[in-house]
Structure 1
Amino acid sequence: MRARVIYNPSSGREQLKKSMIDILHILEQAGYETSAFATTPEPQSAAKEAKRAALAGFDLIVAAGGDGTVNDVVNGIAGLDQRPKVGIIPAGTTNDYARALKIPRTGFLKAAEVIAAGHAIPMDIGQANDTYFVNIAAGGYLTDLTYEVPSKLKTAFGYLAYLAKGAEKIPQIKPIPMHIEYEGGVYEGVASMFFIAMTNSTGGFEMLDPNIVLGDGKFSLFVIKTANILEILQIIRSLIMGGKHIDHPQVLYAQTTFVKVHSMDSQTIQINLDGEYGGDCPTTFLNHQQHIEIIGNTSDYAETVEPLEEQTSFLEMIEELQSEDLPSSK
Structure 2
Amino acid sequence: MRKRARVIYNPTSGRELLKKQIPDILIEYEKAGYDTSAFCTTPEPLSAQEEADRCTKDGFDLIVAAGGDGTINEVINGISPYEPRPKLAIIPAGTTNDYARALMIPRYDFVKAAQLIHKGQTVHMDIGKVKTSSENKFFMNIGAAGFLTEVTYEVPANMKSLFGSLAYFVKGAELLPRVGKVPVKITYDDGVYEGVASLVFVALTNSVGGFEKIAPDKTLGDGQFTLIIVKTTNIAEILRLITMLMNDGKHIHHPKVLYKKTSYVKAETQNNQQLMINIDGEYGGDAPAEFSMYQQHLEIVTDLDRMHLSINTHDLMTEEKEEDFIKQVSKLENNEEE
TM-score, length basis structure 1:
0.96
**Whole-angstrom distance in 1 between the partners of 2:109 and 2:64:** 15
> Is 1:292 matched up with 2:303?
no
> Is 1:259 matched up with 2:265?
yes
Structure 1 range deviating more: 169-178 or 158-167: 158-167
1:290 CA displacement: 0.5
**Whole-angstrom distance in 2 between the partners of 1:297 and 1:168:** 37
Q: From the superposition, tell whether residues 118 and 146 of structure 1 become closer, same or farther in structure 2 (CA, over 3 Å).
A: farther
Task: Give 1:86's aligned amino acid.
Answer: L
1:326 CA displacement: 6.6
1:58 CA displacement: 0.6
> Is 1:84 matched up with 2:90?
no
Aligned to 1:314: 325
CA contact (8 A) 1:5 1:62 kept: yes
| Cα displacement string for residues 30-58 of structure 1 (whole angstroms, at most 9, x for unaligned residues) | 10110111111111111000000111111
Aligned to 1:61: 63
CA contact (8 A) 2:169 2:322 kept: no
Q: From the superposition, tell whether residues 227 and 15 of structure 1 become closer, same or farther in structure 2 (CA, over 3 Å).
A: same
1:159 CA displacement: 2.0
CA contact (8 A) 2:202 2:227 kept: yes
Task: Give 2:297's aligned amino acid.
Answer: H
Give the percent of matched residue pairs that are identical in Structure 1 and Structure 2: 54
CA contact (8 A) 1:88 1:115 kept: no
SS in 2 for 1:49: helix
Aligned residues: 327
> Is 1:246 matched up with 2:252?
yes
CA contact (8 A) 1:121 1:295 kept: yes
CA contact (8 A) 1:237 1:318 kept: no
CA contact (8 A) 1:125 1:132 kept: yes
Choose from 95, 98, 108 the match for 2:97: 95
1:150 CA displacement: 2.5
Aligned to 1:46: 48
Aligned to 2:13: 11
Task: Give 1:215's aligned amino acid.
Answer: G
CA contact (8 A) 1:263 1:269 kept: yes
SS in 2 for 1:324: helix
> Is 1:323 matched up with 2:329?
no
**Whole-angstrom distance in 1 between the partners of 2:117 and 2:180:** 44
**Whole-angstrom distance in 2 between the partners of 1:311 and 1:297:** 26
Q: From the superposition, tell whether residues 326 and 77 of structure 1 become closer, same or farther in structure 2 (CA, over 3 Å).
A: farther
1:168 CA displacement: 2.1
SS in 2 for 1:299: helix
**Whole-angstrom distance in 1 between the partners of 2:337 and 2:61:** 54
CA contact (8 A) 2:104 2:306 kept: no
**Whole-angstrom distance in 2 between the partners of 1:272 and 1:105:** 23
CA contact (8 A) 2:170 2:328 kept: no
Choose from 190, 193, 199 the match for 1:193: 199
Choose from 235, 238, 258 the match for 1:232: 238
Choose from 187, 190, 211 the match for 1:205: 211
| Cα displacement string for residues 156-209 of structure 1 (whole angstroms, at most 9, x for unaligned residues) | 222232133212211111110000000101000111110011111111121112
**Whole-angstrom distance in 2 between the partners of 1:68 and 1:116:** 26
**Whole-angstrom distance in 2 between the partners of 1:39 and 1:218:** 32
